[in-house]
Structure 1
């Protein structure tokens, strides 16, 4: 979703649409329609069947054993067992070429695996749901895949001297920059996402979660049944309230939202997820948490303030424009003036309104420039913070 905006021709209606999108943050997600599915009560939502494109979970046929779980059985292949996939990853001020090996035996085994889930499973059956999704992260074949690619990724971490927080953000932005596949059917295993170089919401989230879990982070898969969407989560430990939603697992751990479908900041989500029913499935046994959520919140909160400011300035521009055009008509003969001084009074007001108009136009242009920069550079958190601060837009009074 391209949220970039321009100053000229920017209507109030357009700005309202933008503000709605960034109520907390705009993100794409795995949505088949713009409307939620309301037919089933929250907590009772069954897995969606394969006729719904938004959900990639398929229902098992009745002949499938009740305890069936997706599993990779490596395929027999001849020739070179590996095929490289190259990803160009923007992070902070650099761009990295990440060449990852895909084990063809594991890939074809994953591609042919039965990824269906037992018919009639409900989202409230947390144990069954968790067992199903965890099967995408477990097993010797998938473990070998992660071992292979993490050897390559860790070279960058070591060479650049990334901290745990920076490494988390690097892994996140790598997965976010993998192209989104809106035509995905049955869920891909992480090895398929790398080999195919594309994935949808749950597929990319599972790739990211698998990376984070194996690098020692306390992570989770967060599923929103009514919106057909899945994201990754990273655990945070807070001493009080936050400006963003904390998603709690059954054991009380709190996770913050990570959108994997496109570039975005940790903790950003569309406003309709604020109160949406969520299934939280912790993955792995890592203990590293995300600690600088307030550091990133400065960006997300600034983005909302900027959007509100743009909306206000646009409404003022609309008001001034109407007044200016009305006065212009009066001054050009539509109004009968009793004296020269009366005409001069309206003319002076006209000049002042035009000056005000250009002042607001300058203010809205400055804010739009910053807004666009922020949404285009989530891979450079430190740089974006500096950009916002140096722009001084948050000091503008209105």
Structure 2
């Protein structure tokens, strides 16, 4: 009995569709680390970074099997169909093979937090500083699993942001990542106060490529009106928030004011310097040598210039403190407050 051509054609189409459906299902798989359980090799990771007025130091021993699995080709491939960025980033951050790494890291961080009675906000800053301290290096390749970033001791912006988001959520904080496609940049984010809310997202941005305050916007996002367009992807189900945004806002506002004041001051000093040079040249002329009025103005301008230099140095010292110690937020804030309340002789009231 011959099968009608139309039926045979329909049957072939069904086979092709079935194969296509199977392919689609297979291609929606998300990254997963293959672990060779027979691999018992380990490595020691040294941790050392500044925090507040101290240095956090510790060593952790990690299994290399998850690390080696994460390095295998194709493990981090993006699904071809229906890829959810949140699911993809979560798969990278929370693979079960990373559990030992997170446990070891929190062993150090929890012990330090307990010993120093850290607040919830300070604990967020502790995790943030740890990740920011990891050397930044552009890889140009696939995003790394957190265990790669930790063991390699370097990472790109996306590698470090995923690691920080994973650490924050594992400790119960509402966290995620900001993706800036036009800027080819990624940053972490944590739920925080409105004072440092990034573009009404509800989250404070955390730059991971360098030391920065939680809520401090990276400079590259200020460059032009088309910069700063973002997507935010929540990682995990944490609920705790960062509540020190009001202090960070004060610190950053003081910094902006100080930069503006310094620019105005130096413009004034530049003009004053030109005047002093003119007066000096005149006084060198015998015709003006005995001109007491000119001499008095010259001396007065010299004093004004010296005072301006001193004031500029005070402002620059304040800026140095703010810019060099983002991991010491409470101290920086209290120092600024004390300067405001009592500038003291020769100090600048910001």
TM-score in terms of structure 1 length: 0.73
From 95, 98, 116, give the equivalent of 2:58: 98
Residue in structure 1 matching 2:148, options 192, 203, 213: 192
Using the alignment, how far apart are the partners of 1:322 and 1:94 within structure 2?
46
For 1:278 and 1:230, the matched residues in 2 are separated by 9
RMSD of aligned residue pairs (Cα, Å): 2.7
Contact 1:235-1:290 at 8 Å conserved across structures: yes
**In structure 1, C-alpha distance between the alignment counterparts of 2:149 and 2:219, rounded to whole Å:** 28
| Structure 2 gap ranges (5+) | 1-22
Cα distance in structure 2, aligned partners of 1:171 and 1:298: 22
User: 1:231, 1:260 within 8 Å by CA — same for their partners in 2?
Assistant: yes
The equivalent residue for 1:315 is: 267
Greater mean alpha carbon deviation, residues 361-370 or residues 135-144: 135-144
- Partners of 1:247 and 1:262 lie apart in 2 by 24
Structure-1 separation of matches of 2:104 and 2:325: 29
Alignment of 1:231-270 (within 5 A): 231-238=187-194, 242=195, 245-248=198-201, 254-270=202-218
Counterpart of 2:248 in structure 1 is: 296
CA distance in 2, matches of 1:128, 1:173: 29
Question: Aligned partners of 2:284 and 2:221: how far apart in 1?
Answer: 53
Larger displacement relative to structure 2 (200-209 or 130-139): 130-139
Distance 2:135 2:126 in 1: 16
Say if 1:243 and 1:326 are closer, same or farther in 2 by CA, change over 3 A.
farther
Inter-partner Cα distance in structure 2 for 1:171 and 1:76: 30
Matches within 5 A, 1:1-398: 66-79=27-40, 81-114=41-74, 115-118=76-79, 128-183=84-139, 185-238=141-194, 242=195, 245-248=198-201, 254-273=202-221, 276-333=228-285, 340=290, 343-392=291-340, 396=348
Q: Match of 2:252, SS?
A: helix
- In 1, distance between residues paired with 2:39 and 2:26? 32
Structure with more relative contact order (C-alpha pairs < 8 Å, separation 6 or more)? 1
2:7 corresponds in structure 1 to none
The structure with the largest helix share of the pair is: 2
Report deviation, 1:74.
1.1
**Contact map agreement 2:339 2:349 (CA 8 A) in 1:** no
Going from structure 1 to structure 2, the CA distance change for 1:269 and 1:288 (only over 3 Å counts) comes to same
8 Å CA contact 2:187, 2:206 repeated in 1: yes
| Contact in 2 for aligned 1:257/1:266 (Cα 8 Å) | yes
Q: Is the 8 A contact 2:314 2:348 kept in 1?
A: no
1:298–1:385 CA contact under 8 A, matched in 2 = yes
Larger Rg: 2
User: In structure 1, how many angstroms separate the alpha carbons of the residues matched to 2:140 and 2:47?
Assistant: 20
Aligned residue pairs, count: 319
Distance 1:302 1:358, change over 3 A: same
> What TM-score does the superposition give when structure 2 sets the normalisation length?
0.83
